[in-house]
Amino acid sequence: MARRGQHRLVTGSCRRRSFRTGVLFASVFFYVFRKRRCFHIINPTHEINEEIIDSEVRLIAEDGTQLGIMSAKEALDIAIQQELDLVKIAPNSNPPVCRIMDYGKYKFEQTKREKDAKRNQRIIEVKEIRMSPSIGLNDFNVKLKNAQKFLKDGDRVKVTVRFRGREMAHTNIGEELLTKFADECAELATVDKNAKLEGRFMTMFLSPKAPK
């Protein structure tokens, strides 16, 4: 059976652990909250309607017509009459520029454009083809076929010839090999960087031609 002194010691220890846990939780909560606040500051949205409190604004109509300089209240009244929104599009101008528009429709079209841009975006990669100066005809054709596939997919191709031992005395063979490779890819690619010898490697870069 535990004595009273031991019981008090255990209870005090538990309280200290609970206190430390509470402090840790509060610190984490404050950090997350602060990070979220920073996120909103970094990514501001447009000020619209009653949020616009500038003494003067330059107003543009929905069709792009310049309506002149007026108070934010007058500009909002005009937008309300047309059953549209008043949106501040250039807050750093003097005075700020506002435009009358359907803000919901604008946001929808903007989101759609961003999705379409991401869908059409493609990262161009650099694919490498490696050969030796003594490569056989069949292997050469396989390498060539792979390179042509990469080029059709829109990727750049780095063609490398590696020289071993005494092959370094005949680097002209590698240069001729790369020239032949480029000629075979001429319909699909242009030579982005001509053959260049660096150490035991001679490299050439091919870029896909733009579609006609």
pLDDT of the residue at 70: 93
pLDDT of the residue at 192: 87
What's the domain range around 110? Answer: 49-119
pLDDT of the residue at 121: 66
Asked if 90 and 83 count as a contact pair (C-beta separation under 8 A), the reply is no
Decide: residue 3, CB within 10 A, 0-12 exposed, 13-18 middle, 19+ buried: exposed
- Joined tokens for residue 208: 């896909």
The ranges of the chain with pLDDT < 50 are 1-2, 5-11, 13-14, 19, 21, 23-44
d(CA 81, CA 63): 15
Same domain, 89 and 152: no
d(CA 78, CA 58): 13
Q: Is 44 part of any domain?
A: no
pLDDT of the residue at 43: 35
Residue finishing a domain among 119, 141, 164: 119
SS3 content of the chain, % helix, strand, coil (to 5): 50, 25, 25
pLDDT of the residue at 111: 87
* Positive or negative: CA dihedral 70, 74, 78, 84: positive
**pTM listed for this prediction:** 0.45
CATH number of the CATH domain containing 114: 3.10.20.80
Phi-psi region of 64 (alpha: psi -120 to 50; beta: other; left: phi over 0): left
CATH number of the CATH domain containing 172: 3.30.110.10
Same domain, 21 and 66: no
Same domain, 28 and 55: no
Same domain, 56 and 114: yes
Locus of tokens 């903007």: 110
Q: For the chain, what is the domain count?
A: 3
pLDDT digits (tens, 9 = 90+) for 2-45: 455 444 444 454 455 554 545 444 444 443 333 333 323 233 47
pLDDT of the residue at 116: 79
